[in-house]
Amino acid sequence: MDPVKSSSGSAWSPFAHTSFAVLWVATVISNIGTWMHDVGAGWLMTELSSSPLTVAAVQAATTFPVFLFALIAGAVADIVDRRKLLIIVNLVQATTAAALASLVSLDLVTPLVLIVFTFALGTGAAFVAPAWQAIVPSLVPRSELSSAIALNSMGINISRAIGPAIAGFLIVSVGLWSPFALNAVSFVGIIAALLWWRPAAAEPRRLPAEEVSTAVINGLRFARYSPAVRATLLRSLVFFLFASAFWAMLPLIARVLLSGGPTLYGLLLACVGVGAVGGAFMLPVLRKQFGPSRVVAFGTLGIALSLAAIALLPVAPVAIAAALFAGLSWILVLSTLNHSAQTALPDWARARGLSIFLTVFFGSMFLGSLAWGQVASIYGIPSALLTAAGGALVMIPLTARFQLQQLAGHNLAPSMHWPAPVVSEQEADLDRPVMVEVAYSVMAEKKPEFLKLMDQLANARRRNGGYGWRLLQDAADPRRMFEIWHETSWTQHLRHHERVSEDDHELQDRIKDTLEGEPEIKHLVAPFTQTRT
């Protein structure tokens, strides 16, 4: 982190940190190129095919790789050097974009070729997104994280406002190959910024790095047993499934419903970006006044109204106004959901947890794009837009009970309060299954409170790598309770020690207040002669 120390927490305070500011600018430039590619690809496909399903397949090819690879990408980003990973992937992205630009200039692109290259670029984005989002907390203090996330979202939408407008102009004045060529060039800035950036040295690992498969499983387990993460994922699934209709249908809205050209398509996308920038300025005030869950409800309502307006009044002025409103609504929801995911994740699971969020995000966009393209092919574009708008409206009250940012203000940093387990050196060196047994002597009058707290502790054990958790009672002495859970190996149990958070520490202290004396802990491992299963 930069030596600059700011605790103002204002909307602009993250820019006081040089590393954040440099990487932010470089990312905006790179995203301008990405949006230019999206406009070029969407418009090129309308020339190659008039099928709504085929046109929607371009959006699907952009989002499906993130759905397919994000979990692996998140696990990799939690294991390897994130800076090096970002440099390598961006180099591959630049090469792929340059190859596509060459093929377009030579008029050698078919619908299949365009989809394959779009899929390849989407795969690169799948590996960039979790790593990039995971480094943001290392660029700014925790008090400025919300502002940094909002600025990143605003940067994406600034690029959305600039890129499509430039692309629309270039397609008409230079040729369809030009947006793809400039996209290839746009990667140079982000690669240079990453080469310049020197993050603080990470603490040496005391344990070996997790295998990718183990990291993925542990990330999924954390999400499964975190109510805050589950609520965020559910709200994300519902919103993006219906909001995807706007992005999937936008090229056809411009070309078919409005009888426009690439300039109008670029203008609509630019209006989305302008609306989103305005929404980023409004977001802190709305979030403070109404709370994150209601902000998401307002944004969902805004997307639904935008879709309905375009379907019922398909004229350019209405579509432009609807695009502005859709951009504003989109940023309200996306930024709030992203912040909710960030605040629910500890550092050790940040990239893989965000990758699960991205998997839901892009998986919903992928499935939604295909579904709305199919509906439009059968029933027409207006029917697809109205159906998506109606579905979004219905889901607002149905998901209201799943509150967002449940852990905002909580401390998920490692507490390191667990003492090192007593074990012989010979036993500790073995990678064998472990069972942990904790015996409690509970005060009779506090047993109901103890049981309630243990339900919360069970989730904490599972989030940090435990499985097969059980709570048993001594048949001869109801005050004696035994907590049992398993770990896949001794190494995994030591990782559990490192992952217990300050929130978990506070919960365990509350449990101790219900006890007579200290808990008694035993660590049981399989003997040498037992084959591991």
Q: How far apart are CA 431 and CA 414, in angstroms?
A: 24
Number of domains in the chain: 2
Task: Identify the pLDDT of residue 449.
Answer: 94
Distances in Å between the Cα of 186 and the Cα atoms of 7, 34, 94, 176, 179 are 33, 8, 8, 17, 10
110 pLDDT more than 70 = yes
Residues in CB range of 421: below 8 A, 6 or more apart: 493, 497, 521, 523
Instruction: Indicate whether 343 and 380 sit together in one domain.
Output: yes
The CA-based angle 197-353-235, given to 5 degrees, is 120
Which range has the worst mean pLDDT, 138-142, 405-409, 460-464?
405-409
Assess whether 433 and 501 both reside in one domain.
yes
Rounded-to-integer distance, Cα 394 and Cα 390, Å: 6
Q: How many residues does the chain have?
A: 533
Rounded CA-CA distance 34/186 in Å is: 8
Q: Number of H helices and number of E strands within the chain? A: 17, 4
For residue 510, what are the domain limits? 425-525
Q: Is residue 7 part of a domain?
A: no
**Paired residues of 385 in beta bridges:** none
State the DSSP code for 205.
P
Residue in 456, 491, 490, 465 with CA at minimum distance from that of residue 352: 465
- Residues 68, 217 share a domain: yes
Helix (H, G, I), strand (E, B) or coil at 326: helix
What is the pLDDT averaged over residues 118-135? 87
Clarify whether residues 441 and 381 are in a common domain: no
| Claim to verify: residue 430 and residue 380 sit in the same structural domain | no
Same domain, 348 and 472: no
Which CATH number is 83's domain given?
1.20.1250.20
Average pLDDT over residues 55-72: 79
Phi, psi of 483 (to 5 degrees): -100, 130
pLDDT in tens, 369-406: 888 888 988 999 999 999 999 999 999 999 989 888 77
Answer yes or no: are the C-beta atoms of 307 and 388 closer than 8 Å: yes
pLDDT at 454: 93
Which DSSP letter does residue 410 get? -
Under a CB-based contact definition with an 8 Å cutoff, are residues 388 and 309 in contact?
A: no
One domain for residues 374 and 434: no
**pLDDT value at residue 432:** 79
Q: Are residues 384 and 440 in the same domain?
A: no
What CA–CA distance (Å, rounded) separates 240 from 229? 16
Gap between the Cα atoms of 420 and 120, Å rounded: 46
Residues 492 and 387 placed together within one structural domain of the fold: no
**Over the stretch 288-333, which tens digit does the pLDDT of each residue have?**
888 889 999 999 999 999 999 999 999 999 999 999 999 899 988 9
Proportion of the chain above pLDDT 90, given as a percent: 32
CATH code of the domain covering residue 477? 3.30.70.100
Q: Do 307 and 171 fall into the same domain?
A: yes
* Cβ–Cβ < 8 Å for 295, 336: yes
pLDDT-derived band of residue 10, with 50, 70 and 90 as boundaries?
A: low
pLDDT of residue 329: 93
pLDDT exceeds 60 at position 5: no
> Quick check: 70 and 130 in contact, CB under 8 A?
yes
Q: Are 179 and 167 in contact (CB under 8 A)?
A: yes
Q: How far apart are CA 329 and CA 339, in angstroms?
A: 16
Residue at 43 is within a domain: yes
What digits encode the pLDDT tens for the residues 204-258?
667 777 788 888 888 889 889 989 999 999 999 999 999 999 988 888 888 888 8
Query: Is 358 within a domain?
Result: yes
Residue 410 within any structural domain of the chain? no
User: 460 in a domain, yes or no?
Assistant: yes
> Same domain, yes or no, for 331 and 456?
no
Please check whether residues 73 and 29 belong to one and the same domain. Answer: yes
Apex CA 333: angle with CA 330 and CA 334, to 5°? 80
Among all chains, which residue has been given the structure tokens 């290259």? 117
| Average of per-residue pLDDT values in the chain | 84
Q: Whose CA is closest to 279, among 298, 266, 261?
A: 298
